[in-house]
Structure 1
Amino acid sequence: MEEEVTSGSDNIVTEFNTYEEFLDSQITPLDLLYLEDEELARELVELGYRGSGEVLKREEFVARKEAAEASRQSKKSQQNTLASSGKDLKNPFLKALAQREEANRSGKMTSIIFIRDKNARGQEISGYIDYAHRLKTEDFDLYFSGRKRLLPRPSDLSFYNWETQTSTSNPTPNYQVIAENASGLLFKNKRDRKILNVDPKAASPGDNSTRTPLSCPQYTQVVIYDHITRRKT
C-alpha cells in the first residue's frame, strides 16, 4: 500500500510544476463560486476539506519534487555514461571506436565503419555499419570489454557474404543508401543531406568527411568514415 501511495505522489509531482498548480487542480468551479476566494480554496484543499485527490502538504510536495528531479538526473547520467569509459583498451580498433563514441552518441558526428572479415562459420563477409545507430540499439560494453566482436550484419547499411553472395542494404536513422550509382556505393546523411563516398579511389569521401584505414590484427580490413554533421540551413 505504501508503494502505491508513493507512486501516486510521484505522478503528482511530475504532472504539476508548482504546489499551487496541484492545489488548483482539485478546486472545482463550484468551490470558487461559494468561497469567492482562490487562496481560501487552496488552503481548504491543503487542509483536506476540499478536493477529491490525495492530501499533500507543501513540504512533502517540494521534497518529492526534488527527489523526482534527482532521479531524473541520475537516469540521464546513466544514459550518458560511455560504454568505453574506464576500459583498458589495447586493440587499435576499439581505441578508435572509443575516441568517436561520445561524438556519435551526441550527434556531433556520424561514423560509418567498413569491416571485412570472417563470420563464425568461416565465411568471408563485409559491410558498412552506422556506428551511431548501433550505439543506440546495442550494449557496446560487450564490444569494449572484448566479450563480443563487432561484425557487419544483413540489417546494417550494407552487407555482403562473399561465399553465399548474399547482399543487403538498409537505410538507418542517419543515412540513406544510394546503391545504383556510377560512382559506386554512396551514403546520404539525412541530417545535412551531404553525400559520403566510400570508394577508396575517390579523391575525397565528401564534404566534412574523412576516411581512416586502420591496421587491426583481429580483422582482415577496417576503414572508418567520419562525417561531422551540420544541419542544413
Structure 2
Amino acid sequence: MDLLPFNSYEEYIDNFITIKDVRYLRGLKIQRKLIKNACGKSCVGNLLSRKEFVSRRETALAMLQPPGLSASQLFGDYLNSNDQVLKQIARREKILMQKRMSTVIFLIMRSSRGLEISSFIDLEQSFREAHVHSSHPNYIDWRGIFEGKVKLMPRNHDLSHFDWHKNSTVFNNSDNFLIVTEGAHSLLLMHSGDHKKICVNAGCDCNYSRNATRSMYVSNIYGNVIFFDHIIRRMN
C-alpha cells in the first residue's frame, strides 16, 4: 500500500474504515479500535504499527528525491512559456504535493494517427510518479512538458481513457481517486482520503458537483482543458 497519501497514522487507520463501519459505529475512536483489533493479523496483510508506519513513510518520502533534485525543486520551475494550461498546472503543483488538494484534469488530444483521445488525469499521482520515474513504468516527463519538449497526452492507464475512434473506455483507480458508477452519473470520482464523491458530468448540478471547483483554461497546444480542484477534508 502506498503510504504517501496519509499524513498521520490515524489517517492510515481510517483508510480501512468502511461505509458500513461508519453507519453502525458512530464514534471514530471505536471504529479505529475495531480496525486495529480486527486487522492486526488478518486484514489486508498485517496492519502496520505506528512505528512501522512512520519508518516506511519516511523511506517512501526519501524516494521522491532522486539525486540532483532538491526537496524544494518543482517541475513547474522549468516552465518557459505563457501557455495558460501549463501555468495553471504549475500553480497547483506544490499544494498538490502537500496533499492539501487533489486535482483532476480532463484533456482531449489527437493521437499520432490524428484521432481524438481523452482522459481524466490525477495530477498529484502523475507528479509523484515522475519523481520516481526510474522505477515507475508509466511516469509522465513533466520537466520535458514544462520545457516544451514533450506534450502531455491521454494514456490508457489514466483515471478514465476514451478512444473516440474505437468508442472504447478504460477506467482505472488511482492512489487518490476511486472510480464509482452510480445511477444516472456516467462517472463519479471518490477521493480515497475523505471519501467525498466528485461528479465530472458536464452541466450536472447535483450535490456531488459541489465537492470540486470546476474551471476551464484554453491553450494553443492543449485546447480546452477542464480542471476539477477538490479541497481535501480530513476525517474527524
Normalised by the length of structure 1, the TM-score is 0.63
2:234 equivalent to 1:231: yes
Unaligned runs of at least 5 residues, structure 2? 1-64, 131-140
Amino acid at match of 1:131: L
2:116 equivalent to 1:124: yes
State how far apart, in whole Å, the 1-side matches of 2:68 and 2:175 are. Answer: 22
Written as runs of structure 1 = structure 2, the 5 A alignment for 1:65-214 is: 78-85=70-77, 87-138=79-130, 139-179=141-181, 181-203=183-205, 206-214=209-217
Counterpart residue number, 2:137: none
Number of residue pairs matched?
Answer: 161
Are the counterparts in 2 of residues 118 and 125 from structure 1 also a CA contact under 8 Å?
Answer: yes
Secondary structure (helix, strand or coil) at the match of 1:192 reads coil
Of 201, 208, 224, which aligns to 1:221?
A: 224
Normalised by the length of structure 2, the TM-score is 0.63
Comparing 154-163 and 83-92, the one that deviates more: 83-92
1:54-79 alpha-carbon deviations (Å, 9 max, x no partner): xxxxxxxxxxxxxxxxxxx9979714
Are the counterparts in 2 of residues 177 and 188 from structure 1 also a CA contact under 8 Å?
Answer: yes
Deviation at 1:86, TM superposition (A): 5.0
Are the counterparts in 2 of residues 126 and 152 from structure 1 also a CA contact under 8 Å?
Answer: yes
Q: What CA RMSD, in Å, does the superposition of the two structures yield over aligned residues? A: 2.2
Deviation at 1:206, TM superposition (A): 3.4
> Do the aligned partners of residues 141 and 185 (structure 1) sit closer, same or farther apart at CA in structure 2, a change above 3 Å counting?
same
Amino acid at match of 1:99: R
Instruction: Considering fraction of residues, name the structure with more helix.
Output: 1
State how far apart, in whole Å, the 1-side matches of 2:114 and 2:66 are. Answer: 44
Query: Which ranges of 4 or more aligned residues in structure 1 deviate by more than 2 Å?
Result: 73-77, 86-89, 203-208
> Do the aligned partners of residues 182 and 103 (structure 1) sit closer, same or farther apart at CA in structure 2, a change above 3 Å counting?
same
1:7-36 alpha-carbon deviations (Å, 9 max, x no partner): xxxxxxxxxxxxxxxxxxxxxxxxxxxxxx
Deviation at 1:169, TM superposition (A): 0.5
RCO (CA 8 Å, sep 6+): is it higher in 1 or 2?
Answer: 2
Unaligned runs of at least 5 residues, structure 1? 1-72
Comparing 145-154 and 169-178, the one that deviates more: 145-154
Deviation at 1:194, TM superposition (A): 0.5
Comparing 139-148 and 206-215, the one that deviates more: 206-215
